[in-house]
Chain A
Amino acid sequence: MTNKLLEIENLKLNFNDYMGTVEVLDKISFSLNKNSWLGLVGESGCGKSVTAFTILRLLPESAEIKNGDILFKEANILAKTEKEMQKIRGKEISMIFQEPQSALDPSMRIGAHITETIRAHRKINRKEVKLQALDILEKVEISNPRYYLNRYPHELSGGMNQRVCIALALVNDPSLLIADEFTTSLDVTIQKRILELVLEIQKLNKMSVLFITHDLALAHECCDYIVVMYAGQIVEKGRADKVLSSPAHPYTKALLNSIPGISKDVKRLQSIDGVVPNLIKPPAGCRFHTRCKHKIPNICDKLFPKVRHLDDGHQAWCHLL
């Protein structure tokens, strides 16, 4: 019995658009242990959300999985039928999104949301369902849950709506929770509380969390492991504290140097010149070479770097190492 809950191996994904074939994901491989928190970090367009949707098999029609395996609890997700996936979504694997307002149906009461989710996966009588709904609302620290059961989403604040979404995701006790930038639209004080809440619940339920974010500092607060993505590829991965304190890849380094902090000394922020490359004709070799200050001509733009194993599971893909 392995400790690995989720294993993604060599995933390659394309979108067939009217503009051309977009190579969204390339050689994505990482694994997520049980009872652990993994951060998928990168800037917009790097493919982190797409990875999550691929795990849940919620891709648009134009998507084409060219290659790769996704093993969840040692079973291949990519081989499952839609019916089997429907049993998994919301029960084994749950997801919470960035905007709670658009994740909730404005014409349904909160209680209806929760009961619908419960009944989609379990056969319980009405009374029991209501009790469970109240219970889960209390678990996400909504005081006076009876009152909120009958309210509509627009009557709640952003923070409370996000708590409801978390409740919906957790009500069927999933083994894997995918959190896609779920604190980005919240105020920073509320963000902290919600994050603490999910941390607690994760420890209690021994759940695994795949945390997608662009905020490296946030990832540091809660992740055990971290995977850094750029333009559809993984550039670095390893234990969170190690990667963030001694980054190996130029992109990770540059990213960390461009984040302002509230510490005592204020250094000039470094920006990364250029823009993210168009993935219809992605750059050959290492996709970061077009913006890298340390690029080695004829190597970085031709060959994709082999993995470099630094100590303790810390890996990076760079010719300079």
Chain B
Amino acid sequence: MKNLIELQGIKKYFPINYRLFDRKKKWVKAVDGVDIRIEKREVFSLVGESGSGKTTLANLILGITQPTEGNIFFKGKEISMMKNKDLKEFHKSISVVFQDPFSSLNPRMTIMDILKEPIMENIGVIKNKDLKEYINILLNKTALREEHLFRYAHEFSGGQRQRIAITRAIAAKPEFIVLDEPTSGLDVSIQAQILNLLLDLKEKYESISFLFISHDMAVIRYVSTRIAVMYKGKIVELANNSDLFNNPLHPYTKHLLESVPNFKSINKKSGKIKSKEFNTFSNVNENKNICNYYFKCHYRDRECLNCTQELHFVGNNHYTACNKIGGNLFKSEEIIK
């Protein structure tokens, strides 16, 4: 089957406890109904700003938290229904690279220990000699050297630490790696190194998929196969890489693209419509049916006060949750070729 990982109707709500005795419980809807299919050999990216739910979604896939609702499928089998053996296989085949190169490596462990950890947990006990050989192969893949093995993490720069984190992620031969903002804390020239390394790894390994999470549209443009744009817990647009950038079909995606600083616009003074910033920093939604993006949207109208925000298929692997862009051409369920 094509799909390595599939999420259906995933929701994650966090309760807000204001007072001890509150009749109505309020929820923060971190992830609010997400459907995703990740295929083999692709880089699937999640773009969103803070509060979009992308990190929560990553945590759900990694199993750090459990979904409030919804199902996760691995190679066609549903996770909660899996037998122990299959479950173990699932856990072994997922790996992760986190954002902060300074807190993702244990300062009390040598690099050797750090690389041994996933091998011992996922592959099992190996003879010392074989272990050494294997680790040397790993180091080669990510341009690290053997003398690095006996140092501590804090002796390395941010870029090198991220490289170590990536080496650790591929150590147990995973089929799927989640990368949560892997280059956000790095200098631009180092970021280029890491991104190129990731692309090279994707070529070298036969069947590995990435879930790449970022807020940086330019980085996403460089690495992705397919992209999902998230806003306040929902996916608002899903498309192939070039389609999303050449033909964005959701107001939020457009807004994101316009906000990216680039070298073309001689933008010393942009006479655009400025909307005042609203003080919303939670997902507590009182009016249940209003579109999440209503207050900041330049394309809104009456209909948006009552919108299902479901993804419509628009053609060529392109889905959007809004039909205001492009006028009346795109109504729900219509397939455009």
Assuming the contacts A260-B195, A269-B195, asked whether A188 and B188 have C-beta atoms less than 8 A apart, the reply is: no
- Which of B187, B221, B267 is the one whose CB lies under 8 Å from A266? B221
Chain A contacts of B263 at CB under 8 A? Answer: 216-217, 220, 244-245, 261
Chain A contacts of B262 at CB under 8 A? Answer: 217, 220, 261-263
Q: Within 8 Å of chain B (Cβ to Cβ): is A192?
A: yes
Q: Within 8 Å of chain A (Cβ to Cβ): is B204?
A: no
Shortest CB-to-CB span from A256 to chain B, Å, is 8
| A288 CA to B31 CA, complexed, in Å | 47
Q: Within 8 Å of chain B (Cβ to Cβ): is A2?
A: no
Q: How many A-B residue pairs have CB under 8 A?
A: 118
Assuming the contacts A221-B261, A258-B189, A271-B196, asked whether A199 and B218 have C-beta atoms less than 8 A apart, the reply is: no
Chain B contacts of A269 at CB under 8 A? Answer: 192, 195-196, 222
Whether B193 contacts A260 by the Cβ 8 Å rule is no
Chain B contacts of A187 at CB under 8 A? Answer: 49-50, 215
How many B residues, CB 8 Å from partner?
44
Assuming the contacts A269-B196, A271-B192, A275-B157, asked whether A264 and B259 have C-beta atoms less than 8 A apart, the reply is: no
Q: Within 8 Å of chain A (Cβ to Cβ): is B19?
A: no
| A199 CA to B217 CA, complexed, in Å | 23
Whether A260 contacts B259 by the Cβ 8 Å rule is no
| A199 CA to B272 CA, complexed, in Å | 13
Q: Within 8 Å of chain A (Cβ to Cβ): is B64?
A: no
Q: Which of B79-87, B106-114, B116-124, B274-282 contacts A (4 or more CB under 8 A)?
A: B274-282
Q: Within 8 Å of chain A (Cβ to Cβ): is B246?
A: yes
| A264 CA to B221 CA, complexed, in Å | 10
Whether B196 contacts A44 by the Cβ 8 Å rule is no
Among residues of A, the one whose C-beta sits closest to the C-beta of B49 is A187
Whether B188 contacts A258 by the Cβ 8 Å rule is yes
Q: Which of B48-62 contact A (CB under 8 A)?
A: 49-50
Which of A188, A200, A217, A259 has its CB near the most chain B CB atoms (within 10 A)? A188
Q: Within 8 Å of chain A (Cβ to Cβ): is B270?
A: yes
| A68 CA to B245 CA, complexed, in Å | 49
Assuming the contacts A157-B279, A271-B192, asked whether A196 and B218 have C-beta atoms less than 8 A apart, the reply is: no
Q: Within 8 Å of chain A (Cβ to Cβ): is B307?
A: no
Which of B157, B189, B264 has its CB near the most chain A CB atoms (within 10 A)? B189
Among residues of A, the one whose C-beta sits closest to the C-beta of B217 is A262
Q: Within 8 Å of chain A (Cβ to Cβ): is B255?
A: yes
Which of B187, B219, B221 has its CB near the most chain A CB atoms (within 10 A)? B187
Which of B195, B218, B265 has its CB near the most chain A CB atoms (within 10 A)? B218
| A190 CA to B50 CA, complexed, in Å | 11
Q: Within 8 Å of chain A (Cβ to Cβ): is B257?
A: yes
- Which of A43, A159, A260 is the one whose CB lies under 8 Å from B218? A260
Whether B189 contacts A264 by the Cβ 8 Å rule is no
Assuming the contacts A192-B259, A268-B196, asked whether A221 and B190 have C-beta atoms less than 8 A apart, the reply is: no
Chain B contacts of A254 at CB under 8 A? Answer: 189
What 0/1 readout, one digit per residue, does chain B (30-66) give for beta carbons within 8 Å of chain A?
A: 0000000000000000000110000000000000000
| A244 CA to B277 CA, complexed, in Å | 32
Chain B contacts of A259 at CB under 8 A? Answer: 188, 192, 218
What 0/1 readout, one digit per residue, does chain A (244-282) give for beta carbons within 8 Å of chain B?
A: 110000000011001111111010111110010000000
Chain B contacts of A245 at CB under 8 A? Answer: 263
Chain B contacts of A214 at CB under 8 A? Answer: 187-188
Q: Within 8 Å of chain A (Cβ to Cβ): is B268?
A: yes
Shortest CB-to-CB span from B53 to chain A, Å, is 14
Q: Which of A72-93 contact B (CB under 8 A)?
A: none
Shortest CB-to-CB span from B269 to chain A, Å, is 7
Chain A contacts of B257 at CB under 8 A? Answer: 262
Chain B contacts of A258 at CB under 8 A? Answer: 188-189, 191-192
Whether B245 contacts A262 by the Cβ 8 Å rule is yes
Shortest CB-to-CB span from B312 to chain A, Å, is 24
Chain B contacts of A218 at CB under 8 A? Answer: 261
Which of B222, B256, B276 has its CB near the most chain A CB atoms (within 10 A)? B222
Q: Which of B212-237 contact A (CB under 8 A)?
A: 215-219, 221-222
Assuming the contacts A193-B274, A217-B261, asked whether A272 and B189 have C-beta atoms less than 8 A apart, the reply is: yes
Q: Which of B230-258 contact A (CB under 8 A)?
A: 245-246, 255-258
Assuming the contacts A141-B276, A261-B221, asked whether A43 and B189 have C-beta atoms less than 8 A apart, the reply is: yes
Chain B contacts of A221 at CB under 8 A? Answer: 261, 265, 267-268
| A288 CA to B269 CA, complexed, in Å | 35
Extra contacts, 15 of them, besides A217-B262, A263-B262 (Cβ < 8 A), are A44-B187, A187-B49, A188-B49, A188-B217, A192-B258, A193-B274, A218-B261, A220-B262, A221-B265, A261-B218, A262-B218, A262-B221, A262-B262, A272-B192, A275-B160
Q: Which 3 A-B pairs have the closest CB atoms?
A: A187-B49, A258-B192, A269-B192
Residues of chain B touching chain A, judged by Cβ–Cβ distance below 8 Å, are: 49-50, 157, 159-160, 187-193, 195-196, 215-219, 221-222, 245-246, 255-270, 274, 276-277, 279, 281
17 contacts between A and B (CB under 8 A): A141-B274, A159-B277, A160-B277, A188-B260, A189-B256, A192-B258, A199-B269, A214-B188, A222-B268, A241-B266, A255-B188, A259-B188, A262-B217, A262-B262, A263-B264, A266-B221, A269-B195
